[in-house]
């Protein structure tokens, strides 16, 4: 560490303690050459996770933006704020687990749609219509058909089969 008084590059640490609830370390140093003391702070360098947009731009990941999109999709639906928060936290965890510096916006959008599809179909369709930028009603109907086909398949798989009575 360079002495702020004489510019000499060697010093010794006289005292070291944690500050700001463990977020930084405060060190008292003494210059070997001039003997003067000065204070330095060490912080963890936080590099924000960057979102790579479809057009190539990059912007910091914004939890509030994710939350606002999900809230808008769930508007006037019987979905508690706790469930919305669970979706936001789930999306954040999945992003942080898989990416450390940059995440494609496509990954975030698809992940949100997947979580909303499990939570509420109307919220899913609302989000998908904005995210996928449906150009016309046909694209919208195609997405609805996919949901309905999935539901009917699940209903068939879950529906108990009746046994036929055998005659004596």
3-state SS of 4-59?
A: CCCCCCCEEEEEEEEECCCCEEEEEEEECCCCCEEEEEEECCCCCCEEECCCCCEE
- Please report the pLDDT score of residue 57 as a whole number: 96
How far is 54 from 70, CA to CA, in rounded Å? 19
Tell me which of 167 and 144 has the higher pLDDT: 144
pLDDT band for position 139 (50/70/90)?
Answer: confident
What's the longest Cα–Cα distance across the chain?
Answer: 110
Spell out the residues 6+ positions from residue 75 whose beta carbon is closer than 8 angstroms to its own. 126
pTM: 0.61
Give tens-digit pLDDT for 63-82.
999 999 999 999 999 999 99
Looking at the predicted structure, is the pLDDT value of residue 153 above 70?
A: no
- Please report the pLDDT score of residue 24 as a whole number: 87
pLDDT band for position 157 (50/70/90)?
Answer: low
Question: Within 10 A of 116 (CB to CB), how many other CB atoms are there?
Answer: 26
> Dihedral through CA 28, CA 33, CA 35, CA 41, nearest 10?
-10
Looking at the predicted structure, is the pLDDT value of residue 154 above 80?
A: no
Give tens-digit pLDDT for 16-39.
998 767 778 999 999 999 999 999
Give tens-digit pLDDT for 76-117.
999 999 999 999 999 999 999 999 899 999 999 999 999 998
């Amino acid at each position: 560490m360079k002495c702020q008084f004489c510019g000499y590059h060697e010093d010794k640490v006289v005292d070291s303690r944690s500050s700001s609830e463990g977020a930084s370390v405060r060190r008292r140093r003494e210059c070997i050459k001039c003997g003067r003391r000065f204070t330095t702070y060490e912080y963890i360098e936080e590099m924000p996770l960057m979102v790579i947009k479809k057009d190539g731009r990059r912007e910091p990941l914004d939890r509030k933006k994710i939350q606002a999109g999900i809230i808008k999709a769930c508007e006037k639906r019987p979905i508690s704020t706790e469930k919305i928060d669970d979706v936001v936290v789930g999306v954040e965890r999945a992003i942080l687990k898989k990416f450390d510096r940059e995440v494609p916006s496509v990954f975030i959008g698809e992940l949100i749609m997947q979580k909303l599809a499990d939570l509420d179909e109307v919220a899913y369709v609302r989000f998908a219509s904005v995210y996928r930028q449906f150009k016309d009603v046909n694209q919208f109907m195609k997405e609805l058909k996919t949901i309905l086909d999935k539901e009917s398949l699940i209903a068939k798989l879950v529906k108990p089969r009746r046994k036929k009575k055998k005659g004596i």
